[in-house]
Every structure is written in structure tokens, then in C-alpha cells.
Amino acid sequence: MPHSRRYRSSERSSRGSYHERYRSRKHKRRRTRSRSSSSERDRRHRREDSYHVRSRSYDDHSGDRRAYDRRYCESYRRNDYSRERGEAYYEPEYHHSYEYRRSRDREGSYRSCKSSRRKHRRRRRRSRSFSHSSSRSRQSSRRAKSVEDDDEGHLIYRVGDWLQERYEIISTLGEGTFGRVVQCIDHRRGGARVALKIIKNVEKYKEAARLEINVLEKINEKDPENTNLCVRMFDWFDYHGHMCISFELLGLSTFDFLKDNNYLPYPIHQVRHMAYQVCQAVKFLHDNKLTHTDLKPENILFVNSDYELSYNLEKKRDERSVKSTAIRVVDFGSATFDHEHHSTIVSTRHYRAPEVILELGWSQPCDVWSIGCIIFEYYVGFTLFQTHDNREHLAMMERILGPIPSRMIRKTRKQKYFYHGRLDWDENTSAGRYVRENCKPLRRYLTSEAEDHHRLFDLIESMLEYEPSKRITLAEALKHPFFDMLEMEPSTKMWDSSRDISR
């Protein structure tokens, strides 16, 4: 590459002609003379490269800084899943670290020069060029300060700021481990309101954003009319190291609505409609050789989360009922095509399929398992597998769903979890008592003996089948008897999947 050739030639100060070395020093002086000392130059370069330093240091300690989902207890619900993608999605656009090294090398050759004549010439030229170079330096310094990051790599912004001379920031909608989502006015779309996802200036999150953009472009290409209920991407750009993605503006996530409603379960007719839409959206992905790999209530958003309020006399509290159960599936940063590398571990802990835990390989059926866990959570209001440990997770599965198949036990590399072909689990320990007291066979979670409720649990059971090859497919799930009543229920009357509420 041309950059690398120039870098190597700058080190060969002992070779080449006097004029070449002189021109090199002259070039260096014009770039760096705006500062009065080498220490100030060092500080300037460090400030310009600060986000690169943060990015590297964050990745170096990523194992110690994994993200926690806010669930029930704000710090309990852990997302211990990380991508294992390569780093070469495309070449980075920033080369500040290279420039810093090059200027430091030139500084070394500058200090080694002892000719008094050359020093005299430098002083003369400095007196002539100081005024011009210092003003240029002050201008570049002001430009650098206009875009700043905080210590975690978030973009620092204020309400009223504009990005790309197009997006006017109105408010902050939310924050996650990846960055922040802000509501903006898109002045190139007639003042439409959009959600702008601003990714942290941290390489692993930027890489995930690039992967998400690739998937979203494929989804837009395959579904130009946006009929398959996956969130629609309008635009994307790189803003000073922050990947930014513009989406249609949606409401609360199905989890946030549940949390704000004191974890009051959704009524069964709303569970039916939401479950049907999730199956439809994810089936579209599967039909296009994609696996979402991170399905959870946080990644399923209402199109509009307006609600009606009623007062519960028995519990003495206000209760919310969402007006429309139209939803969108979001967050494709972990989505994987069939031909791509499949990471060993995927999914957020509570929605992770047994074949992933046992490292038996995974494909589209792992999404079906996650959907089964999600539907259960909509129905009862809490997570089915409330744990953060693999062995305990497997023990919960056995308590709720029955024994793990012997074939899966024989094939897994995780033999440390088993002893003589059975799960190595002591029910008399504190963890054993926790599982015994908090988990029970699946059908015992039924809140009604009505046929409709039993049909729902029949669907959930077929989704929570241990063997991926025996697990129901989403094409089969959409034909399940539980969805037969869908046409007659009021929730569908408000469902218009093509409606644009962003204006």
C-alpha cells in the first residue's frame, strides 16, 4: 500500500540525499510547528486519537465488561453472548494511529540532528510561518472539538444538533450496550420522524452494526413493501467513527411495556396476535436463509404502544392495555446467513436453545426455541428460564420439560455437565432447591383450563422440543390450531402492517 511505503521510507534517515532529508524535515515542521514543545504535540495527538485508544482498551477487557439486560432486578438479567466475527468487513476509514507513529519517528530524526546551521534555518522559517500555521491549527482544533465521545464511546450530542445536515435530534429514545437511539426529524423526508441508532465508537459494536446494515439491506431488497414485519431501514452513514442507522419510528418494546405495566401478562388474544406476527416475521428470515439468533421481548417492538388505562379494584392499581398489538422484529446485528461462520454461542441466556448450550451446532430451529420462551413470557409475565449458569439452565429444562435426550448427551462435548449419561445435578444444594422451588412442569403454568389455553401450551411445547430436528418449524406453527381464532378477534382489526406512523 502507498501508506506503508511512505512509512518505511521515513525511517531511512541515514540513507538518501541531504536534500531529501531536508525536505522531509521541512514538511514535518510545517505540520507540527503550531505547538511550542514536543510534549504539547504528544498531547495533541493523543487527544485526536483518544477514541481509538478507548476502542482498543475496551476490546482488551471485553470479557470483564459484558452487558447486563435490565430485567426485574436491573443488574440480574445477563446477556453473555458475544459475536465471534472477523474484523475484515471492510477497511477502516481512519488512519490517525498511522499518522501518529509517522510523526513520532520524524520527531526522533529531528532531535538527532546537531547541525547549528540547520537549527538556524529552522528558527528563521519558524518566525515567518508561525502565524499562518498556528491559525490553521486553531481552526482544526475547533473542528475536532465539535464532535466528542464520552468515556464509554457514546457520541456526545444535544437536543437540536444536526447530523449530516439532515437529521435534527429531538430526544433520546433509549440506550443499550451498543449505543443510543434518538428520535430525529429527517429533513430530507419531508420532516418525517425517524429513530436514529447511533453506535458507540467501539470497534466490536461498529462491526456488529456493519453486519446489521448488510442484513437490513438484504431484507429491504427481498421485502420492498415491508409486509413481513421486520423493522425498515431508511438510511445509514458513518459519523466521525459512529455507525448510524435510520429506522422507522416505533413504540415501546414488548418487554418495556410489560415492565411498565408491573409485569401484568398480556391477555391471551393479544398473545395470539403477537405470537403470530413474530412467527411470520422470523419465517421470512428463515425462508431467506437467515437466523436471527437474538430473539427476545426487548427486540420485538410495538408499532404504536398507546394504551388504555383501567383501575384494578382488587389489586388497587392502574393497569394498561395496549390498543394495537401490531409489532416489528428489530436488532439484526447478530443475524447470520446459512453460509456464514456460526459462532459457538448465540442468543441471550434466557432464550438460548439446548443445542447451543451443549455446543452441538445450531441453525434456524434455535430461533423457534427462543420464540417459545417469548410466548410463555407474554402469557405469564415472567421469564421461563431465570438463570445465568449453564448447568442450572439445563436443570431447569429437565424440571420443566423432562429429561434431556440421551443422544444429545452422548454427542455433546460438554460432558462436564453429565455423569453416567445423566445431568450431574444435586437437588439438595441451594441451587438445587432454587430450581425445585421456582420451576415446575410446563402445563402447571396454565392459568385456565379452557381449550384455548391448552392449545397455546401445545404450541409452546412443540417449540421447546429438545431435538432441533423434531422441533416445529415456523411454517407449521402458523397453521397451528391456536391461531384459528385470529380472524375473529378484535386485535387484528387494528393491524395494518403497511401503515407508516413516522410522519
Measuring CA to CA, how many Å separate 308 from each of 317, 325, 378?
Answer: 14, 13, 18
3-class secondary-structure state, position 266? coil
> Any idea what the Cα angle at residue 319 is, between residues 313 and 323, rounded to 5°?
135
R_g (Cα) of the chain, nearest Å: 29
The cell for 39 is 510534549
Of the candidates 182, 171, 205, the one whose C-alpha atom is nearest the C-alpha of residue 67 is 205
Output the DSSP codes for 355-373. Answer: HHHTTS---THHHHHHHHH
- C-alpha cell at position 248: 422507522
Annotation-wise, does 470 bind a ligand? no
CA distances from 369 to 69, 105, 157 (A): 20, 56, 39
Cβ-contact 417, 376 below 8 angstroms: no
Contact 226, 498 (CB under 8 A): yes
**What b/e string do you get for 329-368 counting C-beta neighbours within 10 Å, with b at 16 or more?**
bbbbbbbbbeeeebbebbbbbbbbbbbbbbebebebbbbb
| Contact predicate 492/184, CB 8 Å | no
What is the separation, in whole angstroms, between the first and last Cα of the chain?
47
Only one residue has cell 540525499, namely: 17
Query: CA–CA separation, 261 vs 317, rounded Å?
Result: 10
Which distant-in-sequence residues (6+ apart) come within 8 Å of 490 by Cβ?
A: 269
DSSP state of 233: E
Q: What is the dihedral of CA 94, 100, 102, 103, to 10 degrees?
A: 130
Q: Is 399 exposed, middle or buried (0-12, 13-18, 19+ CB in 10 A)?
A: middle
- Please state, as a whole number, how many other Cβ atoms lie within 10 Å of the Cβ of residue 279: 26
Amino acid symbol at 10? S
Active site residue 294: yes
Kindly name the residue from 69, 149, 186, 294 that is annotated as catalytic.
Answer: 294
**Cβ neighbour number for residue 297 with a 10 Å cutoff:** 23
* Cα–Cα distance measured from residue 205 to residue 198, given in angstroms and rounded to the nearest whole number: 10
Say whether 139 sits in a helix, a strand or coil.
Answer: helix
If one counts every other C-beta atom within 10 angstroms of the C-beta of residue 214, the result is 14
> Would you state the cell numbers that stand for residue 227, as one nine-digit string?
409486509
Q: What positions carry a catalytic annotation?
A: 294
Binding site residue list: 197
Binding site residue list for ATP: 197
